[in-house]
Amino acid sequence: MKNQGIRNMQMQRQNSERGFTLLELMVSMAVGLIVMAAMASLFKTGMDSTMLVTQRAETQQNMRAGIDLMVKDISMAGAGLPSGGIQLPTGVGNNGASKFGCDQGGICHVPTSTYPTGNYLYGIIPGYKNGVEGNAVIPAAPAPLYSSSVTSIYVDYNFPLWEYNVAFPGGTGGSITLTANPIYVPAPPAINASGGVQVGDLIMLSNSAGNAVGEVTGITATTITFANLDALNINQSGAATNNIKAIAGGASTTIYRLFAVTYYLTVPAAGQTPRLMRQVNGLSPVPVADDIINLQFAFDTYNSATSALDPNQADPLGNAESPNNIQKVNISVMGQSIITNGNKAQNLYLATSVSARNMAFRNRYQ
């Protein structure tokens, strides 16, 4: 009897140590799944936020790089040019307007690429609705759907071409010869040295007979050639006036290299996003910033009639405003950030203003 009682107590003890019921297991699993789903959602939200912040920062840095270059070039606009700019070849025998924004292959990268108002070279050339190569459509661009371009022209003071004596062999203006001026010590580098003059560059010549611009079509250590029918249509030796031939008889010729820098947008092939391009003289363009979908410029222009500024002129030429009177350029760039396989994007604006410090100064108090 005693043993039987002991066995009964052991069975009762075993029966009291039960496991979880099926319902309890299901409830526990459901709660666990909810917690895991919440954690996964929180992790995904954190990753998305990190990606958005990273993409925004990269897009801003990309746009800032482009704006910094534009500010540098635009702030130099007109530096070293004669007051008011330079008249390019005109008169009987000219071959039409000269070009900017074009390369040696004959490709012009902005829709309208000729110098305005009778072939005149200004320090700044506004390009209203002239900012997308080939007039390509950028669907992601906001209203207004167009983009604009800008061309800044100034003297390059880095390469000392003014340290050479210049002669015009034959007096035709088709070439010049250069010899180092001995008063400069050390002697200037060879004109075709690294970083020196190259085919496609623009050269400004000034002497007692006036000013002229030529495009380099050939170069040696002592000679620069300005052959007719050049890619930019600047070397118009048959024109009656305002070409190199017209000033070949002048004395004390000084030469400088010009930079004609054009900023515009291009839409690459194969579905790539639009990019900001920088094109100099007659050289090939180079990309400055990717994922730029809109480029706008507005100009604060001095009004000689009212002795005040006409602010935010998007189209100074169309409003009969002279580019010589541009005092400040307002720049607005819009970039697009591509997120996760391109199915999301965020657009960012950056805007700034830059003074065209070398353009014509007007004293409103006179």
* DSSP one-letter code for 283: S
Residue 67 lies in a domain: yes
Which residue's structure tokens are 């203003």?
353
Tell me what the pLDDT averaged over the chain comes to: 87
Residue 137 lies in a domain: yes
Provide, rounded to the nearest whole percent, the portion of the chain with pLDDT above 90.
63
Residue 282 lies in a domain: yes
d(CA 170, CA 3): 137
Strands 164-167 and 223-225: unpaired
Q: Residue 265's pLDDT is what?
A: 96
Is-contact 90 241, C-beta < 8 A?
A: yes
d(CA 328, CA 332): 13
Given a cut of 50, whether residue 364 has pLDDT beyond it is: no
For residues 164-192, average pLDDT? 94
d(CA 311, CA 359): 16
Is residue 295 within a helix (H) or strand (E), and if so which, with residue range?
A: strand 292-303
> Which residue range(s) make up the domain with 112?
53-355
Q: Which residues contact 126 (CB under 8 A, 6 or more apart)?
A: 148, 150, 297, 299, 315, 316, 317, 323, 326
Given a cut of 90, whether residue 221 has pLDDT beyond it is: yes
- The half-sphere exposure of 98 on its side-chain side, counting CA atoms within 13 A, is 30
d(CA 180, CA 71): 34
Hey, which residues does 344 pair with through a beta bridge?
A: 339
Residue 153 lies in a domain: yes
Residue 14 lies in a domain: no
What total number of domains does the chain contain?
Answer: 1
Q: Residue 213's pLDDT is what?
A: 97
pLDDT tens, 29-75?
888 888 888 887 777 776 666 666 666 777 788 889 999 999 999 99
Edge-to-edge strand order for the sheet containing 164-167?
Answer: 164-167, 175-180, 223-225, 218-219
Q: Residue 348's pLDDT is what?
A: 86
Q: Residue 362's pLDDT is what?
A: 47
d(CA 121, CA 77): 11
Distances (CA, A) of 202 to 5, 188, 197, 218, 366: 116, 19, 9, 12, 37
Question: CA gyration radius for the chain?
Answer: 34
Residue 3 lies in a domain: no
Q: Which residues contact 280 (CB under 8 A, 6 or more apart)?
A: 259, 260, 261, 262
Residue 2 lies in a domain: no
pLDDT tens, 264-295?
999 988 777 899 999 999 999 999 998 899 99
Q: Which residues contact 12 (CB under 8 A, 6 or more apart)?
A: none
Q: Residue 365's pLDDT is what?
A: 41
Q: Residue 27's pLDDT is what?
A: 82
Which residue's structure tokens are 């010590």?
185
Residue 143 lies in a domain: yes
